[in-house]
Chain A
């Protein structure tokens, strides 16, 4: 009956209860949606980074990256790539050559990384062919063709089929230059990548660089699912002890930091919302308790002990919070699910987003566990908020409280 009394007490002042339930609902909805929005952005950034740049695992010569030496290659890269392709968890493998070069035209020059790829294999790993905005992907019957980013195209004022001169140091230490014809222009969500990365065919680049067939600077591995990377990386580290095996989290520590920080941000956002709600709840319940001093005094007088009165006030508060959760969290789920399918178009801010490598369409997403976590935090906050009004009710002296108007 105490729970029933608590529930009915809430509806003695329906407007007040509805206002606090609505504020709770709005707070939780907004909190969950914001977290879902950011989670969606992060997921997309991870997916984009994996599918277009990092892939799940990369294999390098142990000294690659530490020294700018073209000779730091994986000697049997081609064979390793073939072996990796046999693994069930592996979706695609692409061995690459990576050479720091200077790209020049009559209109200017830019430092770039020339990536030598096997067009068929690379297309499976980075889907590069899908992002060709102008021209076409590599035609293997052609030689000396290059695919450049949109920003580099603008910087060097290049048009399709025009020539670009790549200059770099070859394996013998000599400066080599070669002309490549622009076959296609790709776009990326990152302007830095568009400006600094170009693709040529490995079969064209390797002889110019003096690199033997089958050698690679990098082997990129794309997996079927995101959660197999650590396990496969551990296996490969064991198998290829003389090579450096890194997952995308190792390759992009800022991405790892972003993921690790996300939970902290989530708790901070929810914490701020809950602090605001706590004040609302304390205010409402305090009013409810002070308005009912006489009634609470009578309950004490007729024999309702303090723990039951405390319990009743706590129940009222928890019911308010529960009502807010029951409405707010499903609403957040519905919005996140809806926009998770349709996406939120941020193309008005595309330039700013591109600077940070974000896509202009955001697909909010939030794992189910987060809804429960947010709900649990809201309930814990309401219990905390209820303590003061409940304690206040216990300080009443029945003889005085009964006389209150």
Chain B
């Protein structure tokens, strides 16, 4: 029984929509185990988001395959992929992307509603997640009534609501001030530590990179460096 949750085999991605084909990712091999706290770093255009999208089943590789928990998601149909994402992958986006007409509590509960979980289970999990992110008192606030940091914490709770295999976070701190970013990373670290939740970040942000246990550097669509590090865990240091 392997501990690998993400397994990318010889993955390449070339965009052919424009007049000139653009190679975004070239023959990447990547294994991420359960409980890892990984930062994908690199300059703009290095392929971080493309790789993240392929790992998350949002985009299909041109060649190669991606396995999540041993299941090949490369050739899944759209509806299969959507269902797979619902039960296996949590997403946190740079722009928070909460549903504006729902409250914080409802945004979190919504994912479990899609999973058709019973009401009691949904409510209990929502309550726990709101406590974990420290926003119990903002349960009935709509996204417009929350600060950027608070919205991103709700987004993290939403990503975790479905009890996914791992969470993909695309530049999660890019729109946050230092205090909010540190607070968010504290929450993610805690979830990683206490619940062995796997996090994969695409980021430019040193505050995230410093907290990562593993840093994968992409340059021109290839892995230039893949190192384990001892994270700096104090948010005050960032």
Contacts and interface: CB of A to CB of B under 8 A. Distances in A.
A305 B101 contact: no
B102 interface: yes
A1 B113 contact: yes
Given A1-B106, A295-B97, A295-B99, A305 B87 contact: no
Interface string B48-92: 000001001011000000000000000000110011011100010
B185 interface: no
B158 A303 contact: no
B56 A5 contact: no
A402 B78 contact: no
A8 B114 contact: no
Is the contact region of chain A dominated by helix, strand, or loop, or is it mixed? helix
A259 B79 CA distance: 52
Interface string A366-405: 0000000000000000000000000000000111001000
Interface residues of B, number: 28
B162 interface: yes
Contact of A303 (B85, B95, B100, B101): B85
B197 interface: no
Contacts of A303: 82-83, 85-87, 111, 114-115, 162
B230 to A, nearest CB: 33
A352 B100 CA distance: 60
Nearest to A300: B82
Contacts of A23: none
B85 A301 contact: yes
Pick from B58, B79, B100 the residue with the most CB of A within 10 Å. B58
Pick from B59, B83, B87, B99 the residue with the most CB of A within 10 Å. B99
B79 A306 contact: yes
B87 A402 contact: no
Contacts of A304: 82, 86, 114
A231 interface: no
Contacts, number: 62
Nearest to B79: A305
Given A294-B97, A298-B97, A302-B86, A399 B59 contact: yes
Interface string A302-323: 1111101000000000000000
Interface in A1-49: 1, 5, 8-9, 12
Contact of B93 (A9, A300, A402): A402
Given A12-B101, A399-B59, A305 B93 contact: no
A48 to B, nearest CB: 57
B138 to A, nearest CB: 19
B82 A9 contact: no
Contact of A302 (B78, B79, B85, B102): B85
B164 to A, nearest CB: 10
Nearest to A398: B58
A302 B101 contact: no
Interface string B126-158: 000000000000000000000000000000001
Interface string A285-302: 000000000110011111
A303 B82 CA distance: 5
A9 B101 CA distance: 7
Contacts of B158: 302
Contacts of A12: 100-101
A32 B110 CA distance: 41
Contacts of A398: 58
B16 to A, nearest CB: 14
Contacts of B100: 12, 295
20 contacts: A1-B102, A1-B113, A8-B102, A12-B100, A295-B99, A295-B100, A299-B99, A301-B56, A301-B85, A301-B91, A302-B86, A303-B82, A303-B85, A303-B87, A303-B114, A304-B82, A305-B83, A305-B86, A305-B114, A398-B58
Interface of B: 53, 56, 58-59, 78-79, 82-83, 85-87, 91, 93, 95, 97, 99-102, 106, 110-111, 113-115, 158-159, 162
Interface of A: 1, 5, 8-9, 12, 294-295, 298-306, 308, 397-399, 402
